[in-house]
Amino acid sequence: MLSTDFVPGSPCWIDLGAPDVEAAAAFYGAVFGWQAQPLGDETGDYKAFRLDGKVVGAIGRLTEEGARPAWMTYFNTPDIDATVKAVTHAGGSVRTAPSEASGEGRFAQLTDPQGAQFAVWQAGGYPGLELTDAPGSLVWIELYTTDAAAAQNFYNTVFGWTGQDMELPGGGGAYTMLTPKSLPQERMFGGLMAVPEMFTAGEKQPYWHPVFGSADCDATVALVRENGGQVSMGPEDAEGVGRLAVCNDPAGAEFVVLTPAPPA
């Protein structure tokens, strides 16, 4: 499960790069009840998403040349310079070198060897998300990639994650569930799987996407559609996981809605 007790290698922040911040804020406000508000002393287009007063993510204007609207996942690191060095030594690349964030910490934007983009955060005065593992907040993250074994080796080298493979039904391959270094399986935070057929046309690269909790997946999906979003899969039931749907906001950023299955 995701936690706000951030440890090295665990997801600690997400933000959305959007071409129209106000339109995206209105969409997610209608779907999840989030409010887009200034984050501390930040001004301009970068804002926090809050649910019941707690930060569940952030949004900023999409500025990276050639980038598509997307959610970015940040992983906790106690030493950002060492992590960036480990990324390059393992075959990844640096899009934004370690930079200060208003005195609250340092971040870097990175890309794994298969092309999936991610970021890292070294906390200063601000540790990260204030609410996770609850309806309307981040409950899981997923990586869709062209080579699961290579991706797992890369992230294990950089963060020390451990992986546990689960066979997908119908001979669909394996889904690898991810846990921070030296922590029990109860602290699993996400998964990765190879879906090379998604990328054969060259239209997009491997990517991470967030999974947001919902008390009622079908009701949330209805709100996605009513507010201009699209649904590319579901809602459908996944045994042992819950009821889920893969969605896109009106600008095309992908996310998943999940109503978790009751504990066994």
CATH code of the domain covering residue 209: 3.10.180.10
* 119 lies in the same domain as 202: no
Question: What pLDDT shows up at residue 203?
Answer: 65
Please enumerate, as own/partner, the contacts of 250-254 that have beta carbons within 8 Å and a separation of 24 or more.
Answer: 250/23, 250/24, 250/27, 251/18, 251/19, 251/20, 251/23, 251/24, 251/69, 252/68, 252/69, 253/16, 253/17, 253/18, 253/24, 253/68, 253/69, 253/70, 253/71, 254/70, 254/71, 254/207, 254/209
Structurally, the chain folds into a number of domains equal to 2
Q: Is residue 75 part of a domain?
A: yes
* 234 lies in the same domain as 197: yes
* 39 lies in the same domain as 150: no
Q: Is residue 213 part of a domain?
A: yes
Whether the CB-CB separation of 70 and 17 falls below 8 Å is answered with yes
pLDDT digits (tens, 9 = 90+) for 9-21: 999 999 999 999 9
Q: Is residue 105 part of a domain?
A: yes
Q: Is residue 130 part of a domain?
A: no
* 51 lies in the same domain as 148: no
Residue 221 is part of which domain span? 138-260
Question: What pLDDT shows up at residue 20?
Answer: 94
Of the residues 94, 123, 152, the one at which a domain ends: 123
Q: Is residue 5 part of a domain?
A: no
Q: Is residue 4 part of a domain?
A: no
* 103 lies in the same domain as 143: no
Low-confidence ranges of the chain (pLDDT < 50): none
Question: What pLDDT shows up at residue 45?
Answer: 79
Of the residues 65, 89, 123, the one at which a domain ends: 123
Question: What pLDDT shows up at residue 204?
Answer: 79
Question: What pLDDT shows up at residue 202?
Answer: 63
pLDDT digits (tens, 9 = 90+) for 106-127: 999 999 999 999 999 999 989 9
* 147 lies in the same domain as 99: no
* 98 lies in the same domain as 201: no
* 152 lies in the same domain as 203: yes
Q: Is residue 131 part of a domain?
A: no
| Overall residue count recorded for the chain in this entry | 264
Question: What pLDDT shows up at residue 150?
Answer: 96
Provide the token pair at 216: 């009622």
Provide the token pair at 235: 């809602």
* 143 lies in the same domain as 228: yes
* 171 lies in the same domain as 117: no
Of the residues 95, 123, 151, the one at which a domain ends: 123
* 232 lies in the same domain as 182: yes
How many angstroms separate the most distant Cα atoms in the chain?
A: 51
For 138, what's the count of Cα atoms within 13 Å in the CB-facing half-sphere? 32
In the block, residue with structure tokens 């910490």: 105
**What is the pTM assigned to this prediction?**
0.95
State phi, psi for 85 to the nearest 5 degrees. Answer: -65, -40
Q: Is residue 59 part of a domain?
A: yes
* 146 lies in the same domain as 250: yes
Whether the CB-CB separation of 251 and 215 falls below 8 Å is answered with no
